Structure 1
Amino acid sequence: MNDFGQRPTEQASSSVSDEEEAEEQEAIGRIIHAVREYRGDAEWEVARWEHNFVRLPPRHRELVRTLPAKCARARQCIQANAAFLNEALCAFGDQPYNAGAGTRIMGGVRAADVRARARQPPAPADVEKVRYVLKNLTRDWGAEGAPERSQSYGRMTAEVAARLGAPPADGPPPRVLVPGAGLGRLCCDLAALGYEAQGNEFSYYMLLTAAFVLNESERVGQWVLHPWVHSSCNQLSDADQMRPVAIPDAVPTEMLPGPGLLSMTAGDFVEVYSTPAQAGAFDCVATCFFLDTAHNFIEYIEVIRHCLRVGGYWVNLGPLLYHWADAHTYLPDDELSIEVSLAEVERVAGELGFHSLRREMVPAAFNANLRSMLQSTYRCVFWTMQKQPAGAPARVTGGDQSRESKGA
């Protein structure tokens, strides 16, 4: 087992009130409950397929006579997924790299037990997030995800390397921060180049899975998942829907050229990295499909600038699918969401002290099913900006590259 430092930071946890602690334990309990209930919920969906099959007239059942065998195979796939998720859940609570969050996790377990005893079903959003984790594992840690990773992670690691250069033979390596690190693959790819990469993630769905994969992976193809089993639309064949995906395609510890190059922090990006201790702490911030997760993108830019050294680089790739734009349709609270055009985002970045070195529009998919009849690709902005000294004139336009890329 290898400790990749997957724990909430002291700065984030020390200021948490008892009420906030109880709310977080309840939130963790909701997540644990959703993971535990994955198999039952997924098999309910298979039961729905079977129910609709028996409603058909006999002559129609005969024409789709392979459906019962498909349902039986789907249950096997779901069982394999559930075994992985439960193993990850147990490891997240038991392993020493979570010692700092032990009380919080145990409180979450108790909250999950209460939900289970009350036979409370997981919320549909939580059900979908568990399935989303399976797809994300394919993107980050499956060989099948390599083409998609090359569109985003590959571009970003190449750009970071071009800006920071080779790590010095003597002395500390450049430090790169990856907010919204998800399952940690981009962090690993950057650490593999010899940089000190630190990921930050807020979602416990991602944190528990990342901790498991990063710390417990011992061999390529150690686990076999079936991430597309729940997707019954736009499938070319049953085999495509049930196909296995082996993870990881690379062992994290074997990717790293030395110790101490990879760490993860849990918590809200703004809370963790706006502290005085983080001022100028990083040579580069790499954001991938992250900026539009903000309630207030301006706050994100301010924190990115805060934790970069003067002359440090901000490498960004992603669309502007503002995640909170429609929160009013499914959440009771009035969630803040600031949605502006790309031109406005770039103008704000300039006024906050960034100068554009590179800007390109590139195609990039996210959690795409390569064998689906439905394919979607984002037209992402890919930029590199540099932090200017305080008082420098605002400027964002221009740079050494500003163009449209039509290739992958």
Structure 2
Amino acid sequence: MEKHPHPGTDLRHGQRSDSEQEEWAGEYDPLADPQERRVLFAALDSFRQYRRVLHRNITHRRRQSFYSLPSSHWEKLAAPPFCMLDTLNKIDDAIDSNADIAEAILATGLAPMRLPLDPAPHDVRNWRNKATSEDISKANSTIRQFFRDWSAEGQHERDVSYGPVLRALRQRFGERPASGTKVLVPGAGLGRLVFDLSVAGYAAEGNEFSYHQLLASSWVLNHTRKPEEFALYPFALGFSNLKSRSQQLKQVMIPDVHPGSVVKQQSLLPESQRTMGSMSMTAADFLIQYTEPESKDAFDAVATVFFIDTAPNLIRYIETIHHCLKPGGLWVNVGPLLWHYEDRHNGNQSKSEGADTDDIEKLGIVEPGAVEFTEDEVLQLVRSMGFDIEKHDTEAGECGYIQDTESMLQNTYRPSHWVAVKT
């Protein structure tokens, strides 16, 4: 994936792009490349299919199973106090509410690229019916992630994950960083940390590879109209480890903070009183984009949050971060070591993985090979590659990841937190 700007997220002037077409303006057109077009179309179509597929897989099949019970059994469970059919109706309503978000993301993704809502079947721009079950699963995960990044109820997860970054930067650059202090956030996801950094006064640049995440972050940053505009049911699709149905049907409102309103409020202040920095996003392979000559010594800090374990080859990540940091620049890391490519060593490598060329430098994250490190080994590796570890916090706190705190099963991370300085 080549670099092109994220839709309409340059907030330094406190306004959106003048036209929707400008939102994806850049040196690279994803529709011109067949492979990029396929991936983008699959992401778009996954949001379109969300409503239909989730109703079919979550409630329709459960109704079929319900009516397969002996009649005396399902009749008992259909009546109070169980009311199982009423529960499935409520789950359907929750799916519809989440699908409203999915379709809003879709609409704002189609418009700037001038893709038709109902393309002709043989049109090269026909983006429909391209999503696989894996793509739809990614759409569902992306929608659930709004709980973590853009709801008031997700604040604890953000405090543990993003709080150490903001504190480390504040300690280094002060309460009001100098204008133009640049912070890079690889794996920026739905853009909340990038937004929070810009609010804190930094020139924050996010980088993201996933079209699902890019489309969703564009929507929440540029196209939501007010705080708490949409109802999200992050736990409605899970039927295990529940204490009550109210727990399963918990509703949260997103976004908890409306980015456009924050920017507008800043723009109304006298220039001397404005504290907000700028924000931008790039859609690119981190290992390719940020090893380019123009990225050398370009950033005052790099913040990696739940990111470094996405590396098949951590050495390449470290080399890239070292390349784009200024001498004396800060690298702040928070996150676990849930190595995403561990399946390569478990016999599950897909045919699409691996190199088709000898030019490894241009392959980025799809290069062959993978190795998983312990935390001790990660720190040794970082030190050996041009960094001093300034701080290593072994008690950074605990958090889940889109975790229902009422669930009978708690998956909890104890993230590694350390701060390194480029020597």
C-alpha distance after superposition, 1:326-367 (max 9, x if no partner): 155262234432212222221221121000000012323212
CA contact (8 A) 1:34 1:126 kept: yes
SS at match of 1:148: helix
Residue 369 of structure 1 aligns with which residue?
404
Aligned pair partner of 1:289 in 306, 314, 322: 306
Report the AA paired with residue 337 of structure 1.
Answer: A
Report the AA paired with residue 8 of structure 2.
Answer: D
Is 2:379 the counterpart of 1:379?
A: no
Residue 149 of structure 2 aligns with which residue?
140
C-alpha distance after superposition, 1:186-215 (max 9, x if no partner): 111111111111111110100001001001
Is 2:9 the counterpart of 1:4?
A: yes
Residue 332 of structure 1 aligns with which residue?
351
CA contact (8 A) 1:142 1:249 kept: yes
Aligned counterparts of 1:25 and 1:40: Cα–Cα separation in 2 = 23
- Compared CA separation, residues 40 and 282, structure 1 to 2 (3 A): same
Residue 54 of structure 2 aligns with which residue?
42
Aligned counterparts of 1:152 and 1:158: Cα–Cα separation in 2 = 11
* Aligned residue pair count: 369
Q: Which moved more, 1:144-153 or 1:260-269?
A: 260-269
Is 2:36 the counterpart of 1:27?
A: no
Q: 1:377 deviation in Å?
A: 0.9
Residue 232 of structure 1 aligns with which residue?
239
Aligned counterparts of 2:280 and 2:410: Cα–Cα separation in 1 = 34
Aligned pair partner of 1:358 in 382, 386, 391: 391
CA contact (8 A) 1:188 1:255 kept: no
List alignment gaps of at least 5 residues for structure 1.
Answer: 96-101, 389-408
**Mapping for residues 213-228 of structure 1, pairs under 5 Å:** 213-228=220-235
**Mapping for residues 7-406 of structure 1, pairs under 5 Å:** 7=24, 10=27, 13=28, 21-44=33-56, 45-65=58-78, 66-95=83-112, 102=113, 113=126, 116=129, 122-167=131-176, 172-256=179-263, 257=266, 258=274, 261-327=278-344, 328-329=347-348, 331-335=350-354, 336-361=369-394, 362=396, 363-388=398-423
Q: 1:113 deviation in Å?
A: 3.9
Indicate the percent of aligned positions where both proteins have the same amino acid.
Answer: 33
Aligned counterparts of 1:124 and 1:94: Cα–Cα separation in 2 = 25
Report the AA paired with residue 48 of structure 1.
Answer: R
- Compared CA separation, residues 46 and 222, structure 1 to 2 (3 A): same
Q: CA RMSD in A?
A: 2.5
Report the AA paired with residue 178 of structure 1.
Answer: V
Q: Which moved more, 1:363-372 or 1:222-231?
A: 363-372
- The TM-score with structure 2 as length reference comes to 0.81
CA contact (8 A) 1:274 1:307 kept: yes
SS at match of 1:364: coil
Aligned counterparts of 1:378 and 1:352: Cα–Cα separation in 2 = 27
CA contact (8 A) 2:139 2:212 kept: yes
Aligned counterparts of 2:231 and 2:141: Cα–Cα separation in 1 = 16
Aligned counterparts of 2:197 and 2:169: Cα–Cα separation in 1 = 8
Q: 1:303 deviation in Å?
A: 0.8
Aligned counterparts of 2:97 and 2:198: Cα–Cα separation in 1 = 31
CA contact (8 A) 1:201 1:268 kept: yes
Q: 1:173 deviation in Å?
A: 3.3
